[in-house]
Amino acid sequence: MRYVLRDPIVAQECADENATISKIAPEVVGELRNYFVGFNTEYASRALQAAKKLHLKATELDLRDVFREIPSLNTDLAVAVETTDRNINAQRFCWLNCSSAELCGGSLFQGTQARAIIQLDDGFRIETNHGDLCTEYIINATGPWINTVAAKLDTSIPVTFSQGTIMVQKALSPRGIQHFREPSDADAYIVHDGYGWLGTTSTPINNPEEASPQPWADAYLKKEFAQILPGVEDQPTLSTFAGVRALADDDHPESAKNHIHFENGRRKSRDFRVIQTPKNAFHVIGGKLTTARLMAEKIADVICDKERRSARCQTAKEPLAASNVCDG
């Protein structure tokens, strides 16, 4: 719902992948849908219209019912919308992907560092702390560390790094709440197992190693979200953490030359991009956790095409589970 106006392609991708992940890995998806709540604004009206045009679920709710369910909400709120947005257990989702890959013949190397990548006539040799690996193709899907790997191939990918800080407190709501306004800081209150995750900020940084929780973010996030849930300001903070968004830049020569732009990451698309450089080395940049499976599907299909095979990625249909059986 956050992307229906500024990033409609991403909004549609997220909605489709929401349904797909709920089908192939229901155990990692939360049962309760998020509420988008806010005030009577032009943005809210336009966003609801855009959602309908995209055929995305956005059901306006009776505020009396919402206040009964979440009495700690600001009673001045004028709009409440239920969407299909839900929480995902990212760690569990990651490990289900890993175990399914192994069951389908893949290998997982933990604690392995790529020290050098040597381009050969028929592919690449990856020198690691646990020996060498040879491969015809390389897929660099390392998120904020994309240029750490790209540098080993003597190339650079145009990317903006945006840091976000999240603070955690005891939840004041049984379900996730989003501030229904143009995307900005402190819009989300995500509920995980009785804890509210309040975030996030968006601050440009030079590289992912700089990331750390911003000292000013706690008071700032609480004050901002208190417009929606006043009690967050008095609720003690239990912990804070920071993450890094690696956002795709334009393929302009200057972008590639400098590969870092100090601009507000909020203005950049959450769509993803696949860049091939050098031949048979693919770098996947941008996207979101919700579209991670789709990103992998696209790159898998590209490699099948290069191998002149008609096979297509099946992960939208095959369940992710430890007992998953892969037929090749």
Q: Is the pLDDT confidence value at 264 over 60?
A: no
Res 8: pLDDT: 93
Res 150: pLDDT: 97
Q: Please, which pLDDT band fits residue 265 given cuts at 50, 70 and 90?
A: low
Q: Hey, which CATH number is domain 89-328, 1.10.260, 1.10.3470, 3.50.50, 3.40.190? A: 3.50.50
Res 328: pLDDT: 45
Res 176: pLDDT: 95
Q: Is the pLDDT confidence value at 191 over 80?
A: yes
Whether 73 contacts 66, CB under 8 Å = yes
pLDDT in tens, 152-181: 999 999 999 999 999 999 999 999 999 999
Res 254: pLDDT: 31
Res 302: pLDDT: 94
Q: How confident is the model over 37-64, as a mean pLDDT?
A: 96
pLDDT in tens, 145-154: 999 999 999 9
Q: How confident is the model over 264-281, as a mean pLDDT?
A: 81
Residue burial 281-299, b: 16+ Cβ < 10 Å; e: rest = bbbbbbbbebbbbbbbbbb
Whether 174 contacts 191, CB under 8 Å = yes
pLDDT in tens, 209-261: 999 999 999 999 999 999 999 999 999 999 999 999 998 886 433 333 333 33
- Mean residue pLDDT of the chain comes to 90
Pairing, β 159-170 against β 195-199: antiparallel
Q: Please, which pLDDT band fits residue 314 given cuts at 50, 70 and 90?
A: very high
For the chain, the C-alpha Rg in angstroms (whole number) is 21
Res 252: pLDDT: 35
Q: Is the pLDDT confidence value at 317 over 80?
A: yes
pLDDT in tens, 103-132: 989 999 999 999 999 999 999 999 999 999
Residue with tokens 């995500």: 190
Q: Is the pLDDT confidence value at 321 over 80?
A: no
Res 190: pLDDT: 94
The number of helices, as runs of H, and strands, as runs of E, in the chain is 8, 15
